[in-house]
Amino acid sequence: QQQVKQSPQSLIVQKGGIPIINCAYENTAFDYFPWYQQFPGKGPALLIAIRPDVSEKKEGRFTISFNKSAKQFSLHIMDSQPGDSATYFCAASIQTSGSRLTFGEGTQLTVNP
């Protein structure tokens, strides 16, 4: 069964901290790993994505770290701000076969001022 497990379910940090959200997957055929950010009452939006041929990808304050052997990937938010408070979803798919995204359970992040 294609599953993506995400942790923690919720996370509270102070402004300037570096929250880390982790995801683990089972299917070694997954080849596309995006992260989506969702603000309350809104739909998710693509934040950053990685493919397994690289171990890290940075976009601004957001970094994905990817460990292919451990079948894990994580999102790091540098210098976190209260405006980063949102729910974050990891996901995975097999792009080469056009499969649908499998989402993790989500992490509710709160960044206190």
Partner 1 sequence: DGGITQSPKYLFRKEGQNVTLSCEQNLNHDAMYWYRQDPGQGLRLIYYSQIVNDFQKGDIAEGYSVSREKKESFPLTVTSAQKNPTAFYLCASSIPTGVATNEKLFFGSGTQLSVL
C-alpha closest to that of 4 among 77, 99, 97: 99
Residue 89 carries which DSSP code? E
Output the six-digit token pair for 17: 């901290």
CB of 108 to partner 1, least distance (A): 9
Nearer to partner 1, 43 or 83 (CB): 43
Q: Minimum distance between the CB of residue 47 and partner 1, rounded to whole angstroms?
A: 11
Report whether 94 contacts 87 (CB < 8 A).
no
Q: Which is nearer to partner 1, 10 or 14 (CB)?
A: 10
**If binding is defined by CB under 8 A, does position 53 make contact with partner 1?**
no
Name which position in 53, 70, 100, 113 contacts partner 1 (CB under 8 A): 100
What lies within 8 Å, CB to CB, of 11 at 6+ separation is: 19, 21, 107, 108, 109, 110
Minimum distance from CB of 6 to partner 1 (Å)?
A: 7
